[in-house]
Amino acid sequence: MLSAAYQLRRGQIENYFDRVAADAWARLTSDAPVGGIRATVRAGRDAMRATLLEYLPQDLRGRRILDAGCGTGAFAVEAARRGAHVTAIDLSPTLIQLARDRLPQRLGVGEILFTVGDMLDPSLGRFDHVVAMDSLIHYRVGDTVAALAQLAVRVDRSLLFTFAPRTKLLTAMHAAGRLFPRANRAPSIEPVSEKTLLRHMDAAPTLANWNAGRTRRISRGFYISQALEVVRA
Ligand SMILES: C[S@@+](CC[C@H](N)C(=O)[O-])C[C@H]1O[C@@H](n2cnc3c(N)ncnc32)[C@H](O)[C@@H]1O
């Protein structure tokens, strides 16, 4: 069951990434030069992607991975290069088209199926791992955990995702973001403390057999995000 708040936020996110910020996002995720602030975000995102890849086995041959909110597909490409069969889904048709255009000719034994839609769609099937890099950070903690709980019933090994940690700096940046004209604003992120997140996860029945594992906060200039690994007990 998708809450009204989830559906409302999902529509805002789709509008933002598919229309408002598609060009900026295309540039940020390319090799093109970017200014100082965006350069820190790019560096932080590279470090986060490397962290999430580190939380997966080196050899991913035969593993089914859902790249949940794949954007332009950088994570999916790295996982496929290690042999994974990746389903990469995003709300934004524009970003999925960009991901397809950027797909390298050779991926080795891995493969990627890019698709437009909601990561919670049960018709996507079962996976060994779900990876949601910076795609759940826009939802309230209740909806984030409800999403994880829905994904968990279709996942056999691990859920890897990021959350926006509630730090003083992030709260200040969040407040500053509200000063931008509405049209230029990203759908706001929803900072949450690790403790609150884990408390919500503990209360979710379908996450009862799952344990929090490794976690790492990545902080580079304007990029602050924290990876959390959740594994089947
Ligand atoms: C900040 S971007 C990150 C993209 C990618 N994971 C990366 O790190 O490059 C967040 C992405 O999540 C996608 N997203 C958010 N909610 C989603 C949902 N419910 N289903 C599919 N994609 C979603 C957005 O469309 C957006 O492209």
pLDDT in tens, 66-84: 999 999 999 999 999 999 9
Q: Tell me: pLDDT of 30 over 80.
A: yes
| Residue 1 exposed, middle or buried by CB count within 10 Å (0-12, 13-18, 19+) | exposed
Nearest CA to ligand 1 atom 10: 135
pLDDT of residue 171: 72
User: Token match 């995003």: residue?
Assistant: 90
Ligand 1 proximity of 132 Cβ (cutoff 6 Å): no
Q: Tell me: pLDDT of 103 over 90.
A: yes
Report which ligand 1 atom has the smallest distance to the Cα of 118. Answer: 20
Please state, in angstroms and rounded to a whole number, the distance separating the CA atoms of residues 199 and 193. Answer: 10
Ligand 1 proximity of 74 Cβ (cutoff 6 Å): yes
Query: Are the CB atoms for 89 and 66 separated by under 8 Å?
Result: yes
Q: Which two tokens stand for residue 127?
A: 């996976």
Nearest CA to ligand 1 atom 25: 91
Q: In CATH, what is the architecture of 4-232?
A: 3-Layer(aba) Sandwich (3.40)
- Centroid of ligand 1 to alpha carbon of 69 (angstroms): 3
Q: Tell me: pLDDT of 184 over 60.
A: no
Among 118, 126, 124, which residue's Cα sits nearest to residue 96? 118
Q: Which of 13, 72, 133, 225 to mutate to test the pocket of ligand 1 (most atoms within 8 A of CB)?
A: 13
Nearest CA to ligand 1 atom 1: 134
Report which ligand 1 atom has the smallest distance to the Cα of 132. Answer: 6
pLDDT category, 168, cuts 50, 70, 90? confident
Ligand 1 proximity of 162 Cβ (cutoff 6 Å): no
Average pLDDT over residues 104-127: 95
pLDDT category, 11, cuts 50, 70, 90? very high
Among 142, 3, 16, which residue's Cα sits nearest to residue 69? 16
pLDDT category, 167, cuts 50, 70, 90? confident
- Centroid of ligand 1 to alpha carbon of 133 (angstroms): 8
